[in-house]
């Protein structure tokens, strides 16, 4: 046994032992979680998404510059690891070279090693330049990231030096295949070292390289670089479809005594895998409307801080000492952090490793509301109104159909059942009670009549879908409202629903299924676009105006409906469309989602005013949207910016009704 073999068995064995011990702890923590695990299916699509996003780095490349650098480092490590494995094998047993694969393949392997070493080094240099000189705000300063860059850069430099002195050792026939390292070797050749000295330097740098690799292996489980192990499985287990409903609570299960998350042990193992997967890249933070208006919520920091809480409680979790677990709300994850979220989902769509931030916020809110009765004071009357009036506003249920007076709008009670109409029009609370949004519903009704669509409403039998109650954390109230609506809809055998409210649209479409409410639900933008396509609506009146469109979060990021509302606007003669700097998936929230419609903003700048400022930068005369909450928030923003005299806020149905 050579000294190198003995040294590697001691050093390498120790490193692999420590690495394995750390990963075993992480696995035990993950398995100890008591939260209900998600259900997974569609193995084929999961394999596909893993290939596309892990090997193909698709999600990472959404930010092209750093995405290319990351892809270089990722693929470089995959290729270079083959050479590292050969070094390990040859150190244990000198004859374990991979030359047995043949000269052609071995030459290709050597060439690719040299190429990808340079590829990775360029990626590291760009990442360092970005971190230390460009300094994007969302990236932040991280000593962990600095160490990883130093580790990675050191690995690549050690490989080049190792290869250069390997060449100078006049070793084998593959010398010319080190097509980059050989130039470094030529520079060292002038020093006149003997072959023994060159071989000694080769051995030295080989050990530098191997020790860095082994040190990296020990460092990874406790660092943000844990994502290189966790991100692949997390991508495979991701929510495959854009549409996503909240997970219901079974209140009839008497064994369930905890609603929501009070401590990190109550998360699901998938939640924990999310924590392990975070790369701390800050893409989520860069688009977060709360963070960008000086609120305390940063989606990145939320994940990091929950992970810190998990690690702080690891001994109690593994020992089953639940009485010693600390609350998930702590000095980092404060209640202000949790209540700042607008549930816009920009964080999740931006995340390159598919972390689901909103689920964690929702579950923390559920615990605060249902277990601890802690929530913003202004939410109390909202809950009371929903319970007594079936609407967040203080209006009577008997007034719900007053908006339709004089419009000859039929109700389901009048037509009998859904077979008598083409579609049920779900009015929603804003359309029924809010004066500004009543005009939106009236315009949509006008379009339905012009297109010859047979429709009816539930009239006073409609009640709030419960969206706000659920997202604030009152799951019980949501289910009470939802079951009432499902019973009514099913009694009339409703199959198809259209609504002008993205929040109602999302709830009816994605969240009523578990309670027996399975319907085809379309948003009015989709419905109108199809009517235009079929020639049933023909816009003919010109609108000589510049229009910018504000994307509703629950229409776009929650349900991937982006093009239909734009196509409706573009169908109007003479209209000029302009986009804001932030649009589609990167569009900024109006600030009303996640129940924030009924909460005051006490910290930082107002989200709706900030979004309005972005719209005003386009110099458009009309800010169009397709959501009653957005209409309200942007209208308030226009008033705040004193732009009412030259800027209008319109729903797309109002614009089209004027043009048809």
Q: What is the mean pLDDT of the chain?
A: 93
Where are the alpha helices (H) located in 243-334, listed in sequence order?
A: 269-277, 283-287, 299-312, 314-319
pLDDT tens figures, 271-313 = 999 999 999 999 999 999 999 999 999 999 999 999 999 999 9
- Which residues is 497 bridged to in the sheet? 424, 521
Question: Using N-to-C axis directions, what is the helix angle for 380-389 and 475-491, rounded to 10°?
Answer: 20
pTM of the model: 0.91
- Helices then strands, counting H and E runs in the chain, come out as 27, 8
Instruction: Assign 616 a pLDDT band (cuts: 50, 70, 90).
Output: very high
Question: Environment class of residue 176 by beta-carbon count within 10 Å: exposed (0-12), middle (13-18) or buried (19+)?
Answer: exposed
User: What is the reported pLDDT for 174?
Assistant: 55
Question: Using N-to-C axis directions, what is the helix angle for 607-616 and 628-640, rounded to 10°?
Answer: 80
Instruction: Assign 175 a pLDDT band (cuts: 50, 70, 90).
Output: low
User: What is the reported pLDDT for 109?
Assistant: 85
Domains and CATH numbers, the chain: 3-31+63-222 (1.20.950), 264-373 (1.10.1060.10), 378-533 (3.40.50), 546-659 (3.40.50)
CA dist list (Å): 23 to 11, 68, 97, 286, 503: 18, 29, 30, 31, 42
3-state secondary structure labels for all residues of 302-328: HHHHHHHHHHHCHHHHHHCCHHHCCCC
Residue 172 has pLDDT above 60, yes or no: no
pLDDT tens figures, 479-501 = 999 999 999 999 999 999 999 99
Instruction: Assign 325 a pLDDT band (cuts: 50, 70, 90).
Output: very high
User: What is the reported pLDDT for 348?
Assistant: 97
User: What is the reported pLDDT for 170?
Assistant: 64
């Amino acid at each position: 046994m050579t000294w190198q073999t003995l040294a590697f068995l001691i050093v390498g064995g120790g490193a692999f032992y420590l690495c394995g011990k750390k990963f075993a702890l992480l696995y035990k923590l993950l398995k100890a979680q008591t939260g209900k695990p998600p259900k997974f299916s569609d193995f084929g699509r999961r394999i596909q998404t893993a290939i596309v996003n892990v090997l193909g780095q698709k999600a990472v490349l959404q930010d092209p510059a750093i995405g290319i650098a990351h892809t270089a480092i990722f693929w470089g490590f995959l290729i270079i690891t083959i050479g590292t494995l050969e070094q390990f094998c040859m150190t244990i047993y000198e004859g374990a070279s991979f030359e047995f694969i043949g000269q052609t393949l071995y030459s290709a392997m050597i060439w690719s090693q040299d190429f990808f070493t340079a590829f990775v080094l360029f990626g590291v240099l760009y990442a360092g330049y970005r971190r230390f000189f460009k300094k994007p705000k969302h990236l932040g300063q991280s000593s962990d990231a600095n160490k990883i860059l130093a580790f990675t850069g050191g690995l690549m430099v050690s490989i080049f030096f190792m290869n250069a002195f390997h060449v100078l050792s006049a070793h084998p026939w593959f010398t010319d295949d080190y097509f980059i390292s050989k130039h470094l070797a030529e520079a060292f050749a002038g020093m006149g070292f003997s072959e023994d000295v060159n071989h000694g330097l080769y051995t030295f740098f080989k050990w530098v390289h191997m020790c860095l690799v082994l040190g990296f292996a020990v460092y990874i489980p406790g660092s943000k670089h844990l994502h290189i192990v966790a991100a692949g499985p997390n991508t495979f287990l991701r929510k495959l479809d854009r549409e996503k409903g909240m997970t219901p609570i079974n209140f009839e299960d008497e064994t369930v005594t905890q609603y929501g998350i009070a401590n990190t042990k109550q998360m699901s193992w998938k939640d924990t895998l999310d924590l392990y997967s975070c790369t701390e890249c800050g893409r989520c933070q860069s688009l977060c409307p709360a963070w960008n208006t000086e609120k305390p919520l940063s989606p990145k920091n939320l994940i990091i801080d929950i992970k810190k809480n998990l690690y702080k409680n690891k001994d109690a979790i593994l020992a089953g000492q639940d009485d010693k677990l600390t609350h998930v709300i702590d000095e980092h994850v404060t209640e202000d952090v949790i209540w700042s979220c607008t549930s816009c989902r920009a964080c999740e769509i931006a995340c390159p490793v598919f972390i689901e931030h909103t689920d964690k916020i929702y579950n923390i809110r559920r615990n605060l509301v249902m277990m601890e009765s802690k929530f913003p004071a202004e939410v109390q009357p909202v809950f009371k109104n929903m319970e007594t009036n079936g609407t967040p506003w203080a209006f009577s249920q008997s007034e719900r159909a007053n908006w339709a007076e004089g419009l000859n709008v039929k109700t389901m009670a009048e037509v009998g059942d859904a077979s008598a109409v083409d579609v049920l029009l779900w009015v929603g609370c804003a359309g029924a009670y809010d004066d500004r949004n009543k005009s939106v519903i009236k315009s949509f009704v006008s379009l339905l009549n012009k297109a010859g669509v047979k429709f009816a409403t539930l009239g006073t039998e409609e009640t709030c879908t419960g969206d706000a109650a659920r997202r604030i954390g009152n799951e019980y109230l949501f289910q009470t409202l939802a079951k009432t609506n499902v019973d009514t809809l099913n009694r009339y055998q409703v199959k198809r629903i259209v609504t002008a409210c993205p929040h109602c649209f999302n709830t009816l479409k994605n969240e009523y299924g578990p309670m027996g409410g399975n319907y085809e639900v379309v948003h009015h933008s989709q419905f109108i676009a199809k009517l235009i396509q079929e020639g049933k609506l023909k816009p003919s009146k010109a609108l000589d105006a510049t229009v910018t469109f504000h994307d509703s979060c629950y229409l776009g990021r929650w349900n991937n409906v982006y093009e239909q509302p734009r196509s409706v606007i573009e169908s109007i003669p003479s209209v000029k469309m302009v986009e804001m700097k932030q649009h589609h998936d990167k569009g900024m929230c109006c600030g009303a989602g996640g129940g924030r419609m009924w909460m005051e903003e006490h910290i930082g700048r107002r989200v709706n005013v900030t979004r309005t400022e972005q719209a005003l930068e386009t110099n458009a005369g009309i800010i169009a949207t397709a959501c009653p909450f957005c209409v309200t928030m942007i209208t308030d923003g226009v008033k705040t910016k004193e732009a009412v005299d030259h800027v209008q806020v319109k729903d797309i149905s109002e614009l089209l009704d004027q043009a048809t």
